Structure 1
Amino acid sequence: MSGGFPIDLILFAMVAAFLVLRLRSVLGRRTGFERPPRQDGAAPYDPKAARPPAQDMPGELPPPVPQAGGARRSVPDPRSPVGQALMRIRGVDAGFDPNAFLDGAEGAFRMIVDAFARGDRQTLRALLADEVYGGFEGAITAREQNGESQRSEVRAMQEMAVEAADLRGTVADVTVRFVSDQVNLTTGRDGSIVAGAEAVTELTDIWTFQRDLRSQDPTWRLVATRSA
C-alpha cells in the first residue's frame, strides 16, 4: 500500500457532499400537493416542513413564468377581481405564488386522475375534501362490485388557467381550469369495453382547491369538481 495522500477518498467525499446538498435543495421544496405518506416503512410525510421564504413583497404577485412548450398558462391580471383575490391570499401567506400553485395543481390533477383509476383510496383521502372523497370512493366501490376496471391516462396538458379565487378569513379557494388530452375507458370482467374508448379526447375540468392558510398542513385539498 502506498503512503501517498488519499486523493481518491477526498474526491469521493466531495461528490457525496455535493449530492446531499442537491437532494436537500430539491426535496426541501413543498407546494402543498405532495403525495401522501406510504405505509411500507418509508419515511413519514411531514406536513410541518417549512416552506421557502417569499422572494417578492406580500402585496405583489410574481410575474407570469414563460413556458417553453407544455401547457398554456393563464394567471389573472393583478388589477382584475380574481387577481385582487390572489393578492389578498398572498397577503396572508407570503409564500403563495400563483405560478408555483399551477405547477402543484397540475401534479395533483394527474395524481388524482391516476389514483381514481387505480382505486387508490389512500392517495385520494389525502388530497380530497370529505364530500368530494365520498363521491370518488362511492364510484370506486361501485366499479369494484361490478368487477370493472378503469383506465385513465392524461396524455397531455393543453391549458391551465386560474378561473376564480376567494379568501374568507384565512380560508382560501383557488379554482383552476384544466384542458387536457385523456384516454378514459372502463372494462368489464371479461375485458370488454363498457364505457369510454381508446381514442384520445380533449376534456375540460374545473377544479377548486382549498386551504386554511394558517394551518401547519400545506395541502390544498380538492373541494369541488365540474366539467365544462
Structure 2
Amino acid sequence: MVEIIILAMIFLFVGLRLWSVLGRRTGHEQPIAKPVEVQAPSATISRPTADVPPSPALAEPAIEPRATDGVRAIAAADSSFDVARFLEGAQAAYRMVLEAYWRGDVDELGRLADDGVRQAFAQAIEERRVAGHVLDNRLVAIERAVIERAALSGQMASVTVRFDADIAAVTRDADGEAIAGSLTDAIETHDVWTFSRHVRSDDPNWILVETDEAA
C-alpha cells in the first residue's frame, strides 16, 4: 500500500513538472512557421512584393551603379517593387516577345509591347511574309540580365534592361529549306530593352516600350 502511494506521488510530481514546462507559454517560444508559398515566374513583368536592397553593393550584378538612384525612386513610389522579381519577369517577357516575333504572332506582341514597338515588329513580320521567309530560331540561354537605367517621371516608371543571350537562328524559305543560319551554332546577342509602368496602376504588368541593340 505504501509503495502504491509513493508511486502515485512520483507520477503526480512528474506530471506537474511536465505541465510546468510544456503546458504554459512564456512568450519566448519560437512561433510556428507558416508554409512558404512558392510561385512560378510570371509570364509578364508583374509587381513584386519586397523592397529594393538597401545598399547598391547588395544589388550587384543586377543593377548598374548609374541606375541605383532611379531604382530607389521607383521603390519609393511603389513599395512593392523588387529588383529580383522584376528581372525574373523581364527575362520571361524577353523570351515571350522574341518567340512571338519569330512565329509572327502580332496579337501576342500587342499584349506585351506598346503600339510603337508592336508596329515595328508587325512591319518586320509582314516583310518576312512577303519574302516567303520563316524564322526557325531558339533562345538557348539568357546569360545575363542587368538593369542599366531606371527613372521615375511623375508616376511613370521606366527600367532599361540589358540582355546578354545565346540564340540559335535559322531562316528558311517557303519550302522549309534553310537559307541562312544554323541551329547548331548559337550566336551571342546583346539587347537593351526598356519597360514602363504607371506606379499607381491596378495593372501590375510592365510594357515593353523600346528595343535596341547594346552598344
How far apart are the structure 2 equivalents of 1:90 and 1:102?
14
How many residues in Structure 1 have an aligned counterpart in Structure 2? 178
Give how far 1:92 is off. Answer: 0.6
Name which of 198, 202, 208 aligns with 1:222.
208
Give how far 1:224 is off. Answer: 1.0
User: Tell me, which stretches of 5 or more residues in structure 1 are unaligned?
Assistant: 1-20, 35-50, 66-72
2:131 aligned partner: 146
When the two chains are superposed, the root-mean-square deviation of aligned CA atoms in Å is 2.6
Counterparts of residues 71-90 of structure 1 (less than 5 Å): 73-76=61-64, 80-90=65-75
* Distance verdict in 2 for CA 1:211–1:171, change over 3 Å: same
Contact 2:43 2:92 (8 Å CA) reproduced: no
* 4+ residue runs over 6 A deviation: none
Q: TM-score, normalised by structure 1?
A: 0.69
Q: Does residue 135 in structure 1 map to residue 147 in structure 2?
A: no
Contact 2:135 2:170 (8 Å CA) reproduced: yes
Name which of 182, 191, 215 aligns with 1:205.
191
Where 1:74 maps in the other structure, the secondary structure is coil
User: Tell me, which stretches of 5 or more residues in structure 2 are unaligned?
Assistant: 1-34
* Distance verdict in 2 for CA 1:53–1:163, change over 3 Å: closer
Provide the identity percentage: 34
How far apart are the structure 1 equivalents of 2:43 and 2:76?
17
How far apart are the structure 2 equivalents of 1:172 and 1:195?
39
Contact 2:102 2:135 (8 Å CA) reproduced: yes
| Structure holding more helix per residue | 2
Q: Does residue 190 in structure 1 map to residue 175 in structure 2?
A: yes
How far apart are the structure 1 equivalents of 2:178 and 2:207?
32
Can you list the C-alpha shifts for 1:18-59, whole angstroms capped at 9, x where unaligned? xxx98x8637x868537xxxxxxxxxxxxxxxx6653x4x79
How far apart are the structure 2 equivalents of 1:202 and 1:161?
16
How far apart are the structure 2 equivalents of 1:186 and 1:60?
46
